[in-house]
Amino acid sequence: MRLLKLKIDKIIIHQVYQRDAEGRRVKPMQIREYTRFDPEAMETFKQRIFEALGESSKAVEMEIVKQEENDVSFLVNRSIDEDDATFAVSSYDFAVKLSDSQLSKGIP
């Protein structure tokens, strides 16, 4: 995959945990405060995103199969135009979707 343009307006980091010893999902921790990077830290963050997802990475290309309301593609489209207060709450939906989709106990 080749990343051509990366624009980051808002960052909220929710904690997604590994499954417990019995393989049950552990509820993600919701954060409502924005992470604010100074310009140098933001450039470093963007570079790490490019390295993790860019052309020379070992990232696995995936296809988003579910396209219904409340699936990831819907959440992305909805979140693009949300104001900061709404996004601070609704972005947690991504963490929940990720937590729900993780099947291995060892990978958060």
Q: Is the model's pLDDT at 105 over the cut of 70? A: no
User: What pLDDT does 106 receive?
Assistant: 63
pLDDT digits (tens, 9 = 90+) for 6-42: 889 889 999 999 999 898 999 999 999 999 999 999 9
Domain count, the chain: 1
pLDDT digits (tens, 9 = 90+) for 60-103: 777 778 788 888 889 999 999 999 999 999 999 999 999 988 87
User: What pLDDT does 5 receive?
Assistant: 80
Q: How far apart are CA 97 and CA 106, in angstroms?
A: 17
User: What pLDDT does 82 receive?
Assistant: 94
Contacts by residues 73-80 (CB-CB < 8 Å, ≥ 24 positions apart): none
Helix (H, G, I), strand (E, B) or coil at 29: strand
